[in-house]
Chains A and B, each alone.
Chain A
Amino acid sequence: MARVLRTLVAYGEAFDAERLVPVTSEYGHTVISFGLGVMKPVYELYDRILSDNAISRQPFSADPRPLDKKNVPANLLQNLVFDFMYSQQKRYEEQVKKFGIMNDDAYTCTCYLPQVGNTPKRGDILSWAESSAVVYANSVLGARCNRNSGMIELMGSIAGLIPEFGLLTDDGRKADWVVELRTSSLPDAQLFGSAVGMRVLEKVPYVKGLDKYLGSELTEKACAYLKDFGAATASNGSVGLYHIEHLTPEAVDFGESLIREDAPVYVVDDAEIERVKNSYPCIWKDLNAKPKLCFMGCPHMTLSQLIEWTLRVEEALEEAQQKRVVIPTVFTAAPAVLKAFEDTEYYNRLKRTGITVSSICPLMYMNNPLVKKEPIITSSNKLRTYSSARFYPEAEILKKITGLSR
């Protein structure tokens, strides 16, 4: 336990933090959800901590599990590699049970969704990791959390303390950049987020012009858009907080007074979105290969996204005169969200289109060297960044999976 505290103090000293402050949220969240054989040093360290009876002071959720052999296609060889790669999965899940995970279903990157139940309150101090969850909690919910690394976040939950610096302070939450959106329509969330992330890197952007399309209320649709936008800012750059004018809580309360003096302006128009989209490298050997799989839901989809996409796929299939999708497609969402989805009429309707649902982490699936060679497409800019998956904006993905683009 002393070494855990020493780690947190040294972490804070790197940012001139003057003190440790109490973690005030009800729940924590850890980015580590996988028992990778190559990460044995992490599990050995966790065994050392557990042997000192140091467990988490707060229950916590974790990122999605890496495997779902029932719902996500993989051949025999790929499955053998999965078993080898994730040889520590059982050991790790036993460890998180001892540390205090919320429940067996608490494996998702969208822990903040109401169905999951780990939704921090505005002003809560968090010890979380998972870049997409941290940026959402800070920006949309108004909680306070730094972009902590995996391991550090669990140490914060164990100690009940986290160093005070950066996004935990009022000054650290001020906007360093102004982003002016001047596109002719609502841009793809993942492309817009990517553009912003690559430009501002770790800084805080204040976005003007998005409320024109999303409105001034945090509706389910707006929140789903911001989830995907934020994930792209965090993975294509390292944004931990953004403000959306007239929409996110601090921007509503404080307006332009959040913007630092002389903050540079980044204009995003249709040409800039196109430039960013065309800048992505693709490491497929055959750029014309027919996609073998499509992933949507990195970060995990919301209930409203699952319903909306069921309708969009049905409509596109009808237009393409197809009954089922022409590329095997997996939609991913939190276990609790999928349970809620199963209770709606849309679940069976989506099944009839040939799309499967899963709570897997697509990124962990793509880590398999045999899977990496497959032509897999995605609408997720995060998945594109960390894997060989090829990115297409949502509108193009819809055409591809339904056969409309043939």
Chain B
Amino acid sequence: MKRTFQGRVVTAGTVTAEALVSHGGFNTLASFQGPMLTGDKKLKCSDQNNPDLYQKSMIGKAICLPETIGSTTGGMALYTVCASGMSPACLLFSKHIDSLAAAGAVLADIWTDTNMPVVDKLGEEFLNYVKDGMTVEVKENGIVEVSDD
């Protein structure tokens, strides 16, 4: 079964990846600082306050989230994982993107060669539907297809 959601393109690109879903706010620094500091190539989430993602590998995954939270090193942390070739496949926000995630996405887009599409405003229904392990296809125009096969 496949469902389609229309979002807004923050940074353009196309990708197909496995979904990894955070239902609570995604704390960018808390999530990335562990793997960044230990050089963990699997980019395992180090945010002990996020029961959905804690200790799960984020590299190459389609991170589906409502928004990011936490301190203002968040954008810099996102830029660093992208510039180091350890980025998630894409970031898919159900809500409007926040300033920290937007900064990280823009910095990665303008200052690195990373292809990490970022789409926001996909709606609450998107986050209710998508589950860990589903296949997510992001298209250039902000359309996101989610399939459970």
Contact = CB atoms under 8 A, between A and B. Distances in A.
A7 B107 CA distance: 7
Given A166-B99, A201-B69, A382-B71, A151 B25 contact: no
Nearest to A109: B71
Interface in B77-114: 79-80, 83-84, 97-100, 102-107, 109-112
A144 B106 CA distance: 22
A32 B37 CA distance: 16
A158 to B, nearest CB: 14
B75 interface: yes
A283 B74 CA distance: 22
Q: How large is the interface on B (under 10, 10 to 19, 20 to 34, 35 or more residues)?
A: 35 or more
A85 B36 CA distance: 11
Q: How large is the interface on A (under 10, 10 to 19, 20 to 34, 35 or more residues)?
A: 35 or more
A171 to B, nearest CB: 14
A151 B71 contact: no
B107 A152 contact: yes
B110 A3 contact: yes
B67 A41 contact: no
Interface string A7-39: 100110011000000000000000110001011
A236 B39 CA distance: 26
Interface residues of B, dominant DSSP: helix
B29 interface: yes
Contacts of B70: 131, 235, 238, 385-386
B102 A238 contact: no
Nearest to B71: A131
B10 A31 contact: no
A202 B28 CA distance: 14
Interface in A339-389: 367, 369, 382, 385-386
Contacts of A235: 70-71
Contacts of A14: 10, 97, 102, 105-106
A45 to B, nearest CB: 6
A42 B75 CA distance: 11
A190 to B, nearest CB: 15
A202 B72 CA distance: 13
B80 A152 contact: no
Contacts, number: 128
A42 B84 CA distance: 10
Interface string B9-33: 0100000000000000101011001
B134 interface: no
B72 A148 contact: yes
Contacts of B104: 149
A367 B112 CA distance: 26
A153 B75 CA distance: 11
B102 A11 contact: yes
A156 B37 CA distance: 28
B30 A151 contact: no
Contacts of B68: 238
Interface in B29-79: 29-30, 33, 36-39, 48-49, 67-76, 79
Given A11-B103, A39-B80, A147 B110 contact: no
A385 B99 contact: no
B106 A32 contact: no
Contacts of A10: 106, 109-110
Contact of B99 (A3, A39, A147): A147
A86 B18 CA distance: 34
Contact of A150 (B27, B73, B111): B73
A281 B48 contact: yes
Contacts of B10: 14
A90 interface: no
17 contacts: A3-B110, A10-B106, A11-B106, A31-B72, A31-B76, A32-B73, A32-B76, A38-B80, A42-B83, A85-B37, A129-B72, A131-B71, A149-B74, A149-B99, A202-B69, A238-B68, A238-B70
Interface of A: 3, 6-7, 10-11, 14-15, 31-32, 36, 38-39, 41-42, 45, 85, 129-131, 134, 146-153, 166, 201-202, 234-238, 280-281, 283, 367, 369, 382, 385-386
Kindly list the 4 A-B residue pairs having the minimum CB-CB distance in the complex, ordered from nearest.
A149-B75, A41-B83, A149-B103, A150-B76
Given A149-B99, A152-B75, A281-B48, 11 more contacts: A7-B107, A38-B84, A39-B36, A129-B73, A148-B72, A149-B104, A149-B107, A151-B103, A152-B106, A238-B68, A385-B30
